[in-house]
A and B are shown apart, each in its own frame.
Chain A
Amino acid sequence: MRYAMAIDTKKCVGCSDCVVACQTENNVPIGYARDWISETVVGIYPDLDLEIRSERCNHCINAPCVRTCPTGASHITEGGIIKVTPFECIGCGACIEACPYDARFFHPKGYVEKCTFCEHRVKNGQSTACASVCPTHCIYFGNIDDPNSEIAKIIAKRKYKVLAQEAGTKPQIFYLI
């Protein structure tokens, strides 16, 4: 089983609902965010191409943050979710430096925090907070190993890309283009 996410850049309007939903659901300290919106504008006026993406931890298969963690606090759990154990984290910052997506940050208490794919919700059969609030339904979440899941179907059907593929991290967030 492997959890993954597909985000439709054609449908995303960049409303930041996913950001707020995550902050509320996960009690993210004020001033911090586990997910965010990126807008890329490509081209020269008037021929512009705008892409809006909701970004977060990519829960990579070859995760550099897990590799560089000196204590094993950063680890991969069931379903490929990457998590941090607060009482094993020494706050050295190695995983933050190692992440090509800048998806991690120091919690004010000192340990490192990041997106958990809403593990507590997912375990109970629910979707992640960000996916369930998205007003345009542009976030698909599920078990990519199951060919009947919504995400496996949309990945099979649509063209997609991943971010910083050349970093060799094998990210598990797919952007439909």
Chain B
Amino acid sequence: MREELITSGRMNPNIDPVLHIWHWQIPVYLFLGGLAAGLLFFAAYYTITGKEKKFQTAVKYAPIIAPIAIMLGLIALLLDLRHPAYFWQLYTTIRLESPMSWGAWILLLIMPVSIVWIASYIKEIFPKFDTEHNFIGKILKFIIEKKDTEEEVNWDWKIKFLKIFEKYTIEKRKALAWIMIVLSVILGVYTGILLSAFNARPLWNTSILGPLFLTSGLSTAAATIMLMTKDHRERMIFSRIDLLLIVIELFLITHLFMGFLAGSQAKIEAANLFLGGEFTVTFWVNVIILGLIIPAILEALELLKFKIPVILPVALILWGGIMFRFIMTEAGQITRFLY
């Protein structure tokens, strides 16, 4: 029985008295990465299954958020680095053992893929373009020109290369969707594996974190699509998808705790942070009740034809998603091996 452990002669900033190396940047990035992965996954999935017409928002409009989210996430990551001037060292090597190396390369690949995806839909997203009175239109005047036609799209590219490129991306959309679905799943799982690869932090060191973060990312993406869509049928389908994802998430969280409680002393102490310890209230109120159970009830009521303002479940799911990542990052750093 260990009664007391005193460490003296060491007071390293951010290490003592408890480890606190990763601050808000990492959970924010994990949230945005998961959201982007989910959005791109749904867009790719409905393209592969040939349901683009049925799920216009998921395929066409929602992916616009993905590169923006990835970019903001990358800014957060860059802010997290203490030696940021050397960030390019990430791209001088591929280290298969390091999840962070995987992540850096996946982000580098998924960013252009998502931008090309949006570019292939640009004429459908912006069919009318005003090059005379609109500020952005005036800037873009040197690459696009207005056409005086009665067609749906009233503009075209001035540069021939862009025309060819656009035509090519539209033709190859299905192939692009296959690439995107693979990359998005890797990105979604990676946000969990980034944490689970750390053996030294018992709370993170569980393989269930990968699927759990992927499910959570898909759930936040489904919620975002629910908020964006104007098509009632699409919203109902995503509401149903989200309900299923929430149930899977609750199931995975139950398994997470079962695994911990059946584990070593270090794992039991990690679980106890949430079962009576200092994160109990924060976790159960924000993640389980507000982030999962209440939105699940609201979505179930909606399916039973009750009128529920869409912003309610969506805001709660996004809140739960971001809080889950904050709590996992914060709590994980407190847990450690006991010796």
Chain A residues proximal to chain B, CB less than 8 Å? 14, 16, 19, 31-33, 35-44, 48, 64, 67-73, 86-94, 96-100, 102, 104-106, 109-111, 163-164, 166-169
B307 located at the interface, meaning its Cβ lies under 8 Å from any Cβ of chain A in the complex: no
Distance in Å: Cβ of A49 to nearest Cβ of chain B:
9
Given contacts A70-B95, A73-B89, contact A33 B4 (CB under 8 A): no
Contact B337 A39 (CB under 8 A): no
Complex-state Cα separation, A46 to B266, whole angstroms: 28
Q: List 28 A-B contacts (CB under 8 A).
A: A31-B11, A33-B9, A37-B9, A38-B5, A38-B6, A40-B2, A41-B6, A64-B200, A73-B89, A90-B81, A90-B83, A90-B89, A90-B90, A93-B21, A93-B22, A94-B98, A94-B198, A96-B19, A96-B21, A97-B22, A97-B198, A97-B201, A99-B200, A100-B337, A102-B19, A110-B83, A164-B337, A167-B200
Contact A67 B19 (CB under 8 A): no
| Nearest-CB residue, chain B, relative to A56 | B10
Complex-state Cα separation, A76 to B333, whole angstroms: 25
Given contacts A33-B11, A33-B12, A91-B81, 8 further A-B contacts (CB under 8 A): A41-B6, A64-B200, A70-B101, A71-B92, A90-B86, A91-B83, A104-B15, A105-B13
Contact B82 A106 (CB under 8 A): yes
| Nearest-CB residue, chain B, relative to A163 | B339
Given contacts A14-B8, A64-B200, A167-B200, contact A31 B13 (CB under 8 A): yes
Contact A69 B98 (CB under 8 A): yes
| Nearest-CB residue, chain B, relative to A93 | B21
Given contacts A36-B7, A97-B200, contact A105 B95 (CB under 8 A): no
Contacting residues, chain A, for B197 (C-beta < 8 A)? 67-68, 98
Distance in Å: Cβ of B284 to nearest Cβ of chain A:
25
Mark B84-109 against chain A: 1 for CB-CB distance below 8 A, else 0: 10110110110101111101100000
- Of B7, B13, B80, which one neighbours A92 at CB under 8 angstroms? B80
Contact A97 B21 (CB under 8 A): yes
Contact B339 A67 (CB under 8 A): no
Contacting residues, chain B, for A163 (C-beta < 8 A)? 339
Q: B residues 279-296 with Cβ under 8 Å of A?
A: none
| Nearest-CB residue, chain A, relative to B332 | A97
Given contacts A42-B3, A64-B200, A106-B14, contact A166 B95 (CB under 8 A): no
Distance in Å: Cβ of A30 to nearest Cβ of chain B:
11
Most B CB within 10 A of own CB, among A14, A36, A38, A93: A93
Contact B98 A67 (CB under 8 A): yes
Contact B7 A98 (CB under 8 A): no
Contact B93 A72 (CB under 8 A): yes
Most A CB within 10 A of own CB, among B9, B81, B87: B9
B254 located at the interface, meaning its Cβ lies under 8 Å from any Cβ of chain A in the complex: no
| Nearest-CB residue, chain A, relative to B102 | A70
Contact B83 A36 (CB under 8 A): no
Contact A91 B84 (CB under 8 A): yes
Contacting residues, chain B, for A37 (C-beta < 8 A)? 7-10
